[in-house]
Amino acid sequence: MQNNENLFEVKDLVVEYHTRSGVVNAVDQVSFDLKKGEILGLVGESGCGKSTLGKAMMRMIAKPGKISSGELWINDVDLLKLSENEMRKRRGSEISMIFQDPMTSLNPVQRISDHLLETIHTHEPKEKKASALERTQALIERLGIQRQRIDEYPHQLSGGMRQRVMISLGLVLNANLIVADEATTSLDVIVEAKLVDQLKEIRDEFGISIILITHNIALVAQIADRVAVMYAGHIVEISPVMDLFDDAKHPYTRGLLQSVPTTILDEREELYKMPGEPPNLSNPPTGCRFHPRCPDVMPICSQEIPVLQETTEGRFVQCWLYQDHPNKEMSLDGKVS
């Protein structure tokens, strides 16, 4: 289903939060594209900016945060140039979001039908109730929920069913792009596997694009076409999924992959732990933000930020290991080797 035509482009996006300790750039000069019919996995540790990036794509950054610069292009329109009223019309109809906790995202005193009908009537006020109801019933049935359960309340459904309701809210207006923010976090492994299969089927059937935001890099291997790895507000690597798992380029990506168990661990073995911890973004390290934790650190790494650069076709890395610089070979004592 994937083709080479871009559906969505993020260009030099910056999202900042004004805090007591200073300005925090939670997303800092991020750029990437998303193809039509593509599933892109967005991975990284907690606090790296993944969810902020997803909300920024929806223009849903609340105060004290704001999108301070950048561009968000979908269907040749820069979303950041639209008024709030124009943007509201595009949420749901062009780009939708599945939030990570359906129990808090769904209104507990509204029936499932109320959620879906309200979404339709907000964007399509001329749609008759009978046809809108038939549309919602057909959709949730397609997602594996019996039609009659549309009149139940969220607490009457299982976690997996509630998550499928959230997916139906994203699909009911025929959006071109769904941003799924930790959509499988609260699910057990069996329900998670079913949901992953359903997301693939939805992509194939409706031709939509999906951004799957997750800390679970193993999950990405099952579903994504490409992977974008995020660290401390930066995208540090973008790669086709199999290429990334076969030969990760960025030292941070390699650390993430080493942290995932691939076999049953002996009780005496310890799972790999990446040294250090993510930086405080109100006072980030100079140069590459990963350099205090990096096993391949060079002097240039603490001095200048590398750019996200294409190293081979379709593979982008933000790392001095793959870029030239006149001071790259400088030794720790300041002499050029």
pLDDT along the chain (337 residues), means of 10: 81 94 92 95 92 95 94 94 93 86 80 92 89 90 88 89 86 89 77 81 88 89 94 97 95 90 61 84 93 94 94 95 72 39
Q: Which residues have CB under 8 Å from 231's CB, separation 6+?
A: 44, 45, 48, 252, 278, 289, 290
Q: How far apart (Å, rounded) are the C-alpha atoms in residues 184 and 180?
A: 9
User: Cβ contacts of residue 274 below 8 Å, gap of 6+?
Assistant: 252, 255, 256, 258, 259, 293
Cα separations in angstroms, 40 against 32, 118, 180, 227, 274: 10, 29, 10, 6, 24
Q: Domain residue spans in the chain?
A: 6-94+175-190+208-286, 105-174
Dig out the tokens for 165 from the structure: 């309701």
pTM of this structure: 0.88
- 303 CB-near residues (< 8 Å, 6+ apart): 286, 287, 327
- pLDDT score, position 206: 83
Helix (H, G, I), strand (E, B) or coil at 336: strand
> What stretch of H or E contains 67?
strand 65-74
Domain 6-94+175-190+208-286, CATH class in plain words: alpha beta
Take residue 106 and report the two structure tokens written for it. 């769904």
Q: 234 and 29 in contact (C-beta within 8 Å)?
A: yes
Sign of CA dihedral 197, 202, 204, 210: negative
Amino acid present at 142:
R
The pLDDT, as a whole number, for residue 173 is: 86
